[in-house]
Amino acid sequence: MSGIFIAGTGMYVPPSIYTNDDMSKLVETSNEWIKDRTGIKQRRFSTGEPNFYMGAIAAKQAIEDAGIDPLSIDMIIGSTITPDYCTPSLACLVQSEINADNAFCFDINAACSGFIYALDAAHTYLSSGKVKTVLIVCSENLSKIIDFTDRKTCVLFGDGAGAVVVTSGSGLFESYLKSEGKNAQALLCRALINTSPFVTEADNEKYAKYKQTNGSYITMDGRETYRFSTRALPEAIEAVCSKAGIGVDELTLIIPHQANLRIVKTSAEKLNIPLDKMFTNIDRYGNTSCASIPICLDELKKSGKLTRGDKIALAGFGGGLTYGGIVLEW
């Protein structure tokens, strides 16, 4: 199968910055506690920007960077766990905002692995010849689903969006995708509950074990999530490199999902690579779920730290549980 060409990148983060000291005013915590355990120093929270609005700004930047007409986009893949609507999709709303009238649109939900899954789907469509140009938009308004009284979770996340324009290429491309639904309880956020008048108390009791009880907020088993992440990240990188027929040491750069600096450090040790081979910006944005990797790509591209021909690995892991890796030639 052919490779891909990332023709353009874009990102949006809300202008409002909230430091660890700001978070310590909400819950019992401190700058040192958060920084030592996560590597996070600050994050961005929306003060009213809808999720699709953030995604549309990132998409417009990516389109401008690629130098294309929005009408040339054949497909838009949206990725989010914080949509503004159950329907229409993020992808359809972005399509309207950017006037990409010729594209067909759909969303995926793979949480923090969303960009990896979306990029693999884009590669599959491009390789089939059914499409020529794909726009991927990852946007997360996580402040909508954060319990700001829960210090275990509220300090971890931030809002942001990233987008890429993808076309066919001739370079290296390989992917490795995995899911572990049996461990889904480790990371949850309940959607709308059934309030139909036909649901009885007996029905509620019958299905109580499947219901989250703290409202529509993120809940996380921190210990289990950490164990999963420190296993999944190095596994994804080693497995996708093996499939691609290259060694991890041949990679120019690894861009992991920005969940926790300790996870990245532990994974680097397991992979026996220097930490500086793992790009991180979690200190400035926190965990922006599926938006984190495309935000990293945009920062790297704009700063001139990526050179055409570089072999890079991308790795995501998160709710579902889902994880996966991609190796590509930039």
Tokens of 305: 């730290």
Residue 109: partners with Cβ closer than 8 Å, 6 or more residues away: 79, 80, 81
C-alpha–C-alpha distance, residues 276 and 183, integer Å: 31
d(CA 1, CA 28): 52
Based on the residue annotation, tell me whether 290 is a catalytic residue of this protein: no
Residue 260 among the catalytic residues: no
Assess whether 123 carries a catalytic annotation.
Answer: no
With beta carbons less than 8 A apart as the criterion, state whether 325 and 175 touch. yes
Q: Which of 257, 260, 290, 296 is catalytic?
A: 257
Partners of 313 in beta bridges: 254, 327
Check: CB of residue 323 under 8 Å from CB of residue 316: yes
Which amino acid appears at position 261 of this protein? L
Q: Token pair for residue 266?
A: 């532990």
92, 105, 112, 290: the active-site residue: 112
DSSP 112-140: GGHHHHHHHHHHHHHHHTS-SEEEEEEEE
**Residue 107 CB partners (closer than 8 Å, separation 6+):** 77, 78, 79, 80, 83, 89, 90, 91
Per-residue three-class SS string for 237-248: HHHHHHHHCCCH
Mark residue 67 as left, alpha or beta (left: phi above 0; alpha: psi -120 to 50; beta: remaining): left
Token pair 């890079």 is at which residue? 312
Residue from 20, 141, 260, 287 carrying the catalytic annotation:
287
Alpha carbons 264 and 178: distance in angstroms, whole number: 19
Q: Which active-site residues does the annotation give? A: 112, 257, 287
